């Protein structure tokens, strides 16, 4: 709960609540205790509650990745540009829940409707990619708000296949994929140079062919009426991964025929 909500629910002065919370006040009346204990916390917190800024910052980064300026993001979320700058520059570790929810809604809407290409969108996009920021498709609903999570750029990040997909798609390699590839090299160091080269070629081919097969299978399912969620479930990948592969492997003339 936010301080204003807690103040309204208990009927106590804000200064008294803050003193109790901070430990500056160690003794309270039975009546004060009863008022506080009678408050039922809301299921998800109210709009004024401060929450971790990680997910909000990542959503702003994702919108910058597709070309939205900070000013346009602020306008879509009903906020101020300075507030967006404060969040993206790491100047505040928390954000009000209502702003976080507005930015989450804006990111869902804007990410699927990239802005018209011009010098401002190009500048935003280039800056985001230079900083290694990830698109919204690299996150899922659970991971984007988790400070310990890493973006899944390839659908296989954290594996050697993910490392090869980075290379094949010219995406800067993420730390989990680099660590996985280093582990793969270590596990195969006993091979002769010729055998190691053959194993590397096989790993590269597997990464390349798998993505194309996913895209082809998904388009076939969608021709029979499957939506993204159903197609992803049938193939055994996440919706975000499926969308990534469809973008990486556009429909060929042979498929369209």
In this predicted model, what pLDDT tens digit does every residue of 33-63 receive, in sequence order? 888 888 887 666 667 788 899 999 999 999 9
CATH code for the domain defined by 50-135: 1.10.260
3-state SS assignment for residue 17: helix
Q: What's the predicted TM-score (pTM) here?
A: 0.66
| Cα(236)–Cα(73) distance, integer angstroms | 34
| Cα(181)–Cα(199) distance, integer angstroms | 13
CB 161 within 8 A of CB 206: yes
First to last CA, the chain: 58
In this predicted model, what pLDDT tens digit does every residue of 85-107 receive, in sequence order? 999 998 999 999 899 999 999 99
Ranges of CATH 1.10.260 domains, the chain: 50-135
């Amino acid at each position: 709960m936010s301080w204003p909500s807690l103040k309204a629910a208990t009927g106590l002065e804000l200064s008294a609540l803050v003193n109790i919370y901070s430990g500056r006040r160690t003794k309270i009346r039975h009546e004060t205790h009863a008022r506080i204990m009678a408050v039922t916390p809301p299921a998800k917190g109210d709009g004024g509650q401060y929450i971790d800024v990680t997910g909000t910052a990542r959503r702003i980064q994702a919108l910058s990745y597709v070309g939205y300026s900070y000013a346009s993001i602020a306008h879509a979320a009903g906020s101020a540009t300075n507030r967006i700058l404060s969040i993206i520059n790491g100047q505040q570790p928390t954000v009000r829940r209502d702003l976080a929810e507005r930015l989450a809604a804006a990111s869902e809407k804007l990410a699927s409707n990239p802005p018209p290409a011009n010098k401002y969108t190009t500048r935003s996009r280039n800056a985001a990619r230079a900083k290694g920021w990830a698109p919204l498709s690299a996150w899922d609903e659970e991971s984007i708000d988790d400070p310990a999570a890493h973006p899944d750029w390839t659908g296989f990040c954290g594996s050697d296949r993910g490392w090869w997909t980075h290379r094949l798609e010219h995406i800067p390699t993420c730390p989990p994929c680099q660590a996985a590839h280093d582990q793969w090299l270590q596990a195969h160091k006993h091979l002769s140079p010729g055998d190691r080269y053959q194993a590397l070629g096989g790993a590269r081919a597997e990464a390349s062919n798998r993505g194309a097969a996913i895209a082809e299978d998904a388009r076939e399912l969608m021709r029979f009426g499957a939506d993204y969620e159903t197609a992803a479930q049938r193939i055994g990948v996440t919706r975000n991964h499926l969308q990534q592969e469809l973008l990486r492997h556009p429909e060929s003339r042979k498929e369209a025929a």
